[in-house]
Structure 1
Amino acid sequence: DLFAGEAQAPVIGITGSNGKSTVTTFVGQLLTSCGLNVSIGGNLGTPALELLNDPVDAYVLELSSFQLERAGDLNLAVAAVLNLSPDHLDRHHSMPLYHLAKHRIFAGARHVVANYRDSLTQPVGKGDVPWTLWRDNEPDIQQLGVRNHEGAPWICFGFEPLYPLSDVPLVGHHNVNNVLAALAICHAMGLPYEQLVTGIDTLKGLPHRCELVAAKDGVRFVNDSKGTNVGATVAALEGLADGRNIILIAGGEGKGQAFAPLAKAASQHAKHTVLLGRDAVSIAEALDAATPHTFADDMESAVRTATDIAVSGDVVLLSPACASLDMFADYRARGDAFAAAVRDCEEVS
């Protein structure tokens, strides 16, 4: 609230259950590629109040439900909810209360950006502010989405082809969603899509978010330690799978989540799961009988087990669906432990 009251440049606010940090970063990168001077912060990196002295054209803030639940009218230039799935229910107690906290971002907003395929991201009532909608399938007129163009999938605005998916320099289909959301948010700032898509080539993802840390003998090792809820891990599984070729390392502090959606995705995409941490048994109880699982005491043994199972074409994916604090200082330490264990396995082999 203090920042919003003092900011002298337009403020973009971004929230959601998954992808907030990545989309916030992509928005900053795309705006910069268009020649704007941008400061990025909030729940990501620099605290918002420390950005106030920056001479900028726009601020881009990641906002968490913890920050939003106490917020008044933020009067953002652009407000976006990317997606909503159960998270932090140990704090918010129910999905409706979590939803309510996230939707505080729309109070006073001058432009709304929402995910057409996730109705929970859309504010109740159209109001008198403009909306920009994106979706990861065929868009309607005046929507951003994906459709086939000359036999290949392209990012399109309505029927206008903008950018081929094959050229997106990022791992996983979920990153297509992140790019679409970032484009829609930047477009809501008044920038044309034709200019924005020229910046896609230079997009760079963040550490611990579906980060490729190694590849050996046809096996890829991917660090998605920031996948701290079920929705994030489901997105990673769906984005990286080619049939059932994933060995999933998951587990930790479950934050009161139900693991049934994870079990469904694992049954479709994972050939094996390796479980560790406080809620490993809870995940195992939710898994389909057709999804084999193994318990591990620590990250080193989890990576060794996964490496022994993997064959060429497989992906060893750390995407825990849980918080890290039962075993690690934070998700970064957990991801670093995964990367170190992968290096150790390479040296031993």
Structure 2
Amino acid sequence: MITNSAWAGKRFAVLGLARSGAAAVAALVASGASVVAWDADADRRAGFSNFPGVRRGGVGMGDLDDLSGFDALVVSPGVPLNTHLLAAKAHDAGVPIIGDIELFAQARAELPPHKVVGITGTNGKSTTTALVHHILQTAGLPSLMGGNIGLPILSVEPLPEGGVYVLELSSYQIDLTHTLDCDVAVLLNVTPDHLDRYDGFEAYAASKARLFAMQSPRHEAVIGIGNLPSAKIARSLADRGERLTKIAPGVCLDQGRWPALQGPHNAQNALAAIAVCKALGVAERDIDRGLESFAGLPHRMERVATRGGVLFVNDSKATNPDSTAPALAAYDRVHWILGGRAKGDDLDACAPHFGHVARAYTIGEAAPVFARALDGRVPVEQAETLDRAVASAASYARAGDTVLLSPAAASFDQFRDYEDRGATFRQLVEALA
């Protein structure tokens, strides 16, 4: 694990004991810190009952009523800072509120010489993070993925000299980070999302921009300028000159050689990854090999099967219309399965690509709302459940068509999460006669 001698003798409160929180507790204790750990889940609290150096907060967080003696409150990204009682107590006591990425930033001075790539954006950050990591591995460079993807960053063994830590960073993680100076910082796009955690869209965009505020101007910035908010952030960094790479929307001529990177959104992801790897000194031949051999990520434009000439694609990770739109653009004739727990009533972001939709099948809570939004624009069927949607789409689709699960909505009405939804889609496709 990653440790830091500077934490020895300090007191930390840790709120949230899932993967990143549990790794933070272990790293802090191994570094000689004392920790009070708490989670609303009693089973997670019980998992630390015999952990040396850790005191568990009681059911009502009694041990954390007074935070004035702590050096920091370490919070899991899922904890809403705008509403949680403990976050308010920390503010009142003047105690810094940080996350595991900030702990990693503090520990960097004791790691072997290395570089850090930080990648954020409303959409595309997981694919871009995995692609950069894959290219680095293809080139024979030691690297690992962390942050919002892969292993909790504090749980990994430090990379050897010359290694690259590739971090996917959500806005929540950036909110909890104050000193992470990325050697290469990437912003892919900014579109409305997670607004229940922010005081409006401008505050959400400002959270993304903080990745560059933490960065030394001599380090590299890569920004997609395909939408106005991210283009505005790029303009604010114009004085960086050659240290700023702008990624314009478009299609890469080489995408035909990259089977897992289809569609205009993946063109942007690929161009961003290319810019990152060039900034790290990776040879072009290694970049080309990595792009060609990248297999993609589950639930993100994942090619599940081809049956009777019909391609079935699992894009369950697309939980809002902005992330679904590029998937519609990627295929000529689409049978579109959408719905779930909607984050809004309209599908306006997808409208420019309705000409690609042969037929739509709405499911979940949003089935009637999305059906009304599509009525008169594309043929639409309220299938209500995923199994009915897959069966109906398979019956209508003909050779050359694509059956696309790209829901434009969250999954929590009918599934545990987007991964459960995508896995169910895969099973239903595999069961087709």
Alignment of 1:245-324 (within 5 A): 245-256=333-344, 258-262=346-350, 264-287=351-374, 289-324=376-411
Which of 131, 138, 149 is residue 244 of structure 2 equivalent to?
A: 131
Q: Is the 8 A contact 1:133 1:184 kept in 2?
A: no
Q: Distance in 1 between matches of 2:169 and 2:328?
A: 25
The residue that corresponds to 1:149 in the other structure is: none
1:52 shift after superposition: 5.5
Which of 6, 9, 12 is residue 117 of structure 2 equivalent to?
A: 12
Structure with higher Rg: it is 2
The residue that corresponds to 1:169 in the other structure is: 259
Q: Distance in 1 between matches of 2:237 and 2:144?
A: 31
Q: Distance in 1 between matches of 2:179 and 2:210?
A: 8
Q: Which segments of 5 or more consecutive residues in structure 1 lack a partner in the other structure?
A: 138-144, 147-152, 154-163
Q: Which has the higher contact order (CA 8 A, sep 6+)?
A: 1
Same amino acid, percent of matched pairs: 38
Alignment root-mean-square deviation, CA: 2.1
Alignment of 1:149-168 (within 5 A): 153=253, 164-168=254-258
The residue that corresponds to 2:224 in the other structure is: 115
Q: Distance in 1 between matches of 2:346 and 2:192?
A: 8
Partner secondary structure for residue 266 of structure 2: helix
The residue that corresponds to 1:202 in the other structure is: 293
Distance 1:98 1:167, change over 3 A: same
Distance 1:93 1:233, change over 3 A: farther
The residue that corresponds to 1:161 in the other structure is: none
Summarize deviations over 1:313-347 as a string: whole Å, max 9, x none.
1111000111111111111110111111112222x
TM-score (normalizing by structure 1): 0.85
Summarize deviations over 1:300-321 as a string: whole Å, max 9, x none.
1111111122112111100011
1:126 shift after superposition: 2.3
1:171 shift after superposition: 5.0
- TM superposition outliers: structure 1 runs of 4+ over 6 Å: none
Q: Is the 8 A contact 1:260 1:287 kept in 2?
A: no
Which of 135, 146, 165 is residue 59 of structure 1 equivalent to?
A: 165
The residue that corresponds to 1:23 in the other structure is: 128
Distance 1:198 1:308, change over 3 A: closer
Alignment of 1:61-80 (within 5 A): 61-80=167-186
Partner secondary structure for residue 432 of structure 2: helix
Q: Which segments of 5 or more consecutive residues in structure 2 lack a partner in the other structure?
A: 1-101
1:230 shift after superposition: 1.1
The residue that corresponds to 2:64 in the other structure is: none
1:232 shift after superposition: 1.3
